[in-house]
Amino acid sequence: MSVIMEFAIFPIDKGEHVSQYVKKVVEMIDTLPCKSQLTPMGTIVECDTMDECLAVISKANAILEQDAERVYCTATFDNKPGKKDQMEHKIKAVRGE
């Protein structure tokens, strides 16, 4: 199965500049065995299951809770059972490759 998740998570009680907090989340994601891509507006992660995606969000939230009293998170999912490597496939399909 392939579950692609795009999510953004950040503290909303730390002012306008939150990159130092988001950096901790990105560093955690970089240690995971799943594919990921940082974008200007969030992070895309491809996991084998929905539970794995939700675990990423849970870990990210736990990291931010260490420094923040309020955390905002938004996520979208594309769950495609029986498929793999959908992040690459979707891009190639749009480019006609």
Per residue in 40-91, pLDDT tens?
A: 999 999 999 999 999 999 999 999 999 999 999 999 999 988 878 888 888 8
Find the DSSP H helices in 2-49: 19-30
* CATH number for 71: 3.30.70.930
More confident residue, 83 or 35: 35
Question: Which domain range does residue 20 map to?
Answer: 2-95
- Nearest one of 14, 22, 13 to 41, comparing CA atoms: 22
In the chain, the number of structural domains is: 1
| Helix (H/G/I), strand (E/B), else coil: 66 | coil
pTM > 0.75 = yes
